């Protein structure tokens, strides 16, 4: 008797259960897609990992430079010139030549980043010195006589450095300063300035 009255209920609940299971499965799939979505899309629309890596700008190899800066690396453990000025929002083509007879390096970074890079050099064996900047977006190693270029867009004002991290060189003063001045086509404060500058 109990069996007969429960039987329709069982069937009924089985039916509901089936629908609920299907619903839950659909919900789970939707959630699964919802969760996989952001992981597959590039965050913030920036494909270049360097765009997130550097606080002061990003490499822009295809961009037309607003300014060209030639820098010489010298065996006196100096860069010539030792200081430059650029504008926030501008793209600068750096043309760096090793005019010395030993290997030098050149890379952009905040003063903090340059100090950290210098500390990291303790782990780089001499045999890896020529290749340790390979794949880095912000600089390179130069053989004697070699010239390399880097096109970089500066996004905000501040003080950064270009530095040589061949052991002993940075400590000897082989770095230069870049003053990034505001007042150009400033990109760090969103679209307002870009629209204002868009008329000319
Ligand atoms: Cu050097």
Question: For 166-172, which contacts have Cβ atoms below 8 Å and span 24 or more sequence positions?
Answer: 166/102, 166/103, 166/104, 166/105, 166/129, 166/141, 167/121, 168/77, 169/77, 169/104, 169/105, 170/114, 170/118, 171/118, 172/77
Report in angstroms the alpha-carbon separations of 89 from 22, 57, 84, 115, 168.
54, 9, 16, 25, 34
Residues 28 and 72 in one domain: no
Q: Which helix (H) or strand (E) holds 37?
A: helix 2-40
Q: What is the predicted pLDDT for the residue at 53?
A: 84
User: Using the 8-state DSSP alphabet, how is residue 1 labeled?
Assistant: -
Q: What does the alpha-carbon distance between residue 7 and residue 101 come to, in Å, rounded to a whole number?
A: 94
Q: What is the predicted pLDDT for the residue at 8?
A: 43
Instruction: Confirm whether 2 is domain-assigned.
Output: yes
User: Residue-wise over 50-61: b if at least 16 C-beta within 10 A, else e?
Assistant: bbeebebbbbbe
Instruction: Confirm whether 193 is domain-assigned.
Output: no
Residues 134 and 171 in one domain: yes
Ligand 1 centre to CA of 10 (Å) is 82
Q: What is the predicted pLDDT for the residue at 144?
A: 98
Ligand 1 centre to CA of 192 (Å) is 42
Q: Running along the chain, 200 residues long, what does each successive block of 10 average in pLDDT?
A: 43 44 41 37 41 86 96 98 97 98 98 94 91 93 98 97 97 98 60 42
Residues 68 and 102 in one domain: yes
Domain at 146, CATH number: 2.60.40.420
Cβ atoms of residues 90 and 66 within 8 Å? yes
Ligand 1 centre to CA of 174 (Å) is 6
Alpha helix ranges (H) inside 41-152: 50-53, 111-120
Ligand 1 centre to CA of 163 (Å) is 8
Residues 62 and 154 in one domain: yes
| Enclosing domain of residue 102 | 50-181
Residues 98 and 169 in one domain: yes
- Domain tally, the chain: 2
Instruction: Confirm whether 128 is domain-assigned.
Output: yes
Residues 146 and 96 in one domain: yes
Residues 105 and 166 in one domain: yes
């Amino acid at each position: 008797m109990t069996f007969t009255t429960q039987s329709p209920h069982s069937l009924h609940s089985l039916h509901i259960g089936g629908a609920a299971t299907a619903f839950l499965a659909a919900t789970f799939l939707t959630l699964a897609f919802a969760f996989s979505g952001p992981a597959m899309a590039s965050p913030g629309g920036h494909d270049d990992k360097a765009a997130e890596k550097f606080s002061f700008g990003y490499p822009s190899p295809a961009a037309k430079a607003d300014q060209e800066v030639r820098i010489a690396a010298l065996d006196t453990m100096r860069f010539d010139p030792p200081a430059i000025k650029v504008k926030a929002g501008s793209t600068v083509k750096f043309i760096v030549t090793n005019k010395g007879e030993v290997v030098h390096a050149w890379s952009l970074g905040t003063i903090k980043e340059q100090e950290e890079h210098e500390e990291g050099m303790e782990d780089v064996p001499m045999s890896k010195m020529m290749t340790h900047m390979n794949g880095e977006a912000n600089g390179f190693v130069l053989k004697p006589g070699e010239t390399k270029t880097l096109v970089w867009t500066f996004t905000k004002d501040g003080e950064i450095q270009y530095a040589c991290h061949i052991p002993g060189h940075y400590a000897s003063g082989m770095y230069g300063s870049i003053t990034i001045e505001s007042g150009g086509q400033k990109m760090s404060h969103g679209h307002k300035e870009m629209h204002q500058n868009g008329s000319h």
